[in-house]
Amino acid sequence: MDKINNFDELGLSDEILEVIKKKGFEKPSPIQTLTIPLLLTNEKDIIGQAQTGTGKTAAFGLPIIENTENNGITQVLVLAPTRELAIQVAEEMMSLRTNREIGILPVYGGQPIEGQLRRLKRGVEIVVGTPGRILDHLKRGTLRINQLSYLVLDEADEMLNMGFIEDIEKILSQTNKDKRMLLFSATMPPRIVKLAQKFMGEYEEIKVSPKRLTVDLTDQIYFEVNSSDKFEALCRIIDIEKEFYALIFCRTKLKAQHLGNALSDRGYDAAALHGDISQNQRERILDQFRKKRIRILAATDVAARGIDIQELTHVLNYSIPQDPNSYVHRIGRTGRAGKRGTAITFITPSEYRKLMHIQRTANAEIRKEKIPKVKQLINMKRKRIIKEISEIIEKKTFDDNLPVAYDLLGDHKPDEIIAALLTHAYKDDFSPEKYAKIRDVKGRTDKDNYSPDQKGTTRLFIALGNKDNFTKRKLADMIKKETKIDSRLIRDIKVYDNFSFSDVPFAEAEQIIKAFRRMGRDNKPLVVKAKPEEKKVKPNFSRSKRKRR
C-alpha cells in the first residue's frame, strides 16, 4: 500500500472529513491508515495489534459512525476493560459525530443504572460499556444486541488480565452472526487468539509497532501536591524557570479553559485549546503559540493531537495521564530536535501508585522534586534582574536613557534611584504576598517516598493460612521465590486459619499481585490488595490460646 499522508485519501465522506478538520487532525496515525480503508471497503473481521494512545478510537470510530443509521436500534457495541476507558471512548466517538443525531451511550458500573435504563429505552445506536454492566443489562432485557453491525473489543488483553474473558464470551454468544467484529489488543496471548478463532469469521490482521517508550532528551520530574494547590504550584514553577514555553495537559475541556483563563488573569501569556473551540479560534491560537506570543497552552489530549512544535521547553501534566502510553505521547512533545526539555507531572497523594505504574511500564526515570519556596522565587527573580541589568550595562544599550539618569542623579542618591526604578519596573514582583500558601501534603514528611495513606505500603490479602501449613517464614519465602523481591520488604505478616496479610511497598505490591494472579483457588487470584474492612481483621485466639505453665 502506498504511503497515506492525508485523511482524504482513506475513502471517508466529505461530512466526516469536515469533522476531522474541525477537530484539528492533520494526518492519520498508522493504525488509522491501516484500519479505516479495511472497514470501509472490506467485509472481513479485523484483529489489530496496537498500543493505547495510537489513535485506535478514531480508527474504528470514523468508519463506524459513517455507516451507522439513526434508527434507535443498537447497531454498535464497544467493550472496554474499565469505566475510564469506556467514558473516554464514548466521548471521543461523540466528538466524531457528524450532524446526524446518532445516540452514543457509555454504560459502566459505579453509576446509577436508572439513567442508563431511560436512555436505552429511548433507543441508542452505539453502546460503549464494561463487560459486567453490559451483562447486567442483558440479564434485565434492557439491552438487545442481536442486530449489531459492529462489535469492538478494545484492549482485549487487559480484559483478559482483569478476568473478564468469560463475561465477554457470554456477551458474544448473544450477538448475531452477521456482524463485523473488531478486536484490538496491545499483545496477543494464546487465550485472546483462541477467543478470536471461536467467535470471529475470516479476519484481516494488522499490526502497528509500539512506540519507543523512552524519551532520552527529556528530564522527567513530579511534584506531589494537594489538588486545590495545583494552580499555585504551577505559578511557582513558571516563575522559577528561566524560560517556560509549555504545553499543559488537562483531563477535561472545562479544566483546560479554566486554567487558561486563570493563567491569563495572573499575567501570563496563556490560552486554552479544547474541543469546544471553533476551527478559526484554534488556528489563531496555534499561530500565536508557534510565534511565542502565547507561551503557555492548556489543552486536552484530543485537542493537542496534531500539534507539532519543536521548541517547547516544558510539557506539564496538570492531570496525571490515564496510562503509560499517553504519558509517553504527551512528554514526547518536548526534548526534540536535539534540545533538552522538561516533563513535569502533578500528582495528588492518592495517585502515587498510578505514577509508579506509569514509571515501570514506560521504563521512565521520574524523580521527585519539591515545590519552590517563596523565598527561593524572590531570590531567583533578584538574581535574574541583576544579570539582565548587568548585560545592558556591558553592551551599553542604555544611551537613550542617559539624560533621564543625569536628571535623577542631580536630585537623589544613586542607590535610592536604582531602588525606585526597580520598584517602578517590577512593582510587587518581590513581594511574598504575591504568592498564596501551599499546604503540606497531609501525612507527609520530606523523607517519605511513598503515598501517605499507609506510610508508603500496600496491605495485601493472601488466600493461604494455617490450614495450608503456612507460617510467616514460609509465606515470605514463597513470595521471594516467585517474585525475587527482597524478603526484608515483606513486613508485618499476619497468618490466620484461612488467609494471611502482609505490608509491602507500593511498587513491590504490584509485582506480587501480578505474579500470583493465576495461582489461586477457583480461578481467583491468590494475592490481592486488602479491602478497607479486611485491614481491621483481628485474630481469633479462641482455638489457639496457649496453656500457661
Could you tell me the residue ranges of all domains in the chain? 7-207, 218-372, 378-431, 452-536
- Give the other-Cβ count within 10 Å of 503's Cβ: 20
Cα dihedral 73, 79, 82, 87 sign: negative
pLDDT in the model for residue 442: 60
CB 106 within 8 A of CB 86: yes
Q: Which CATH architecture has domain 218-372?
A: 3-Layer(aba) Sandwich (3.40)
Q: Give SS3 for 492.
A: strand
**Pairing verdict, β 314-317 and 246-249:** parallel
pLDDT at 315: 94
- N-to-C CA span, the chain: 86
Amino acid at 505: P
Nearest to 541 by CA among 497, 475, 491, 492: 497
Residue 28: Cβ within 10 Å count: 23
The one-digit pLDDT tens for each residue of the chain (549 residues) are 456 778 888 889 888 998 888 777 778 888 899 999 999 988 899 999 876 667 788 899 999 999 998 899 999 999 998 776 788 789 889 988 877 789 999 998 877 888 899 999 999 999 999 999 999 999 999 999 999 999 999 988 878 877 889 999 999 999 999 999 999 987 788 889 999 989 998 999 998 865 544 456 688 999 999 888 999 999 999 988 888 999 999 988 889 999 999 999 888 999 999 878 876 788 789 889 989 999 999 998 777 765 667 789 999 999 998 777 778 878 877 876 567 889 999 998 888 888 888 888 777 788 999 888 888 788 887 887 888 788 888 888 877 778 888 878 877 888 877 877 777 776 666 667 667 778 777 644 333 333 333 335 778 888 888 888 888 888 888 888 888 887 777 877 888 888 888 888 877 888 888 888 766 666 678 888 876 545 445 444 333 333 333
Three cell numbers written together for 297 = 497552552
Position 218 scores a pLDDT of 82
Say if domain 7-207 classifies as CATH 3.40.50.300. yes
CATH of domain 452-536: 3.30.70.330
CA 385/CA 74 separation, integer angstroms: 64
Q: Matching CATH topology for 7-207 and 218-372?
A: yes
pTM: 0.49
Question: Coil, strand, or helix at residue 110?
Answer: coil
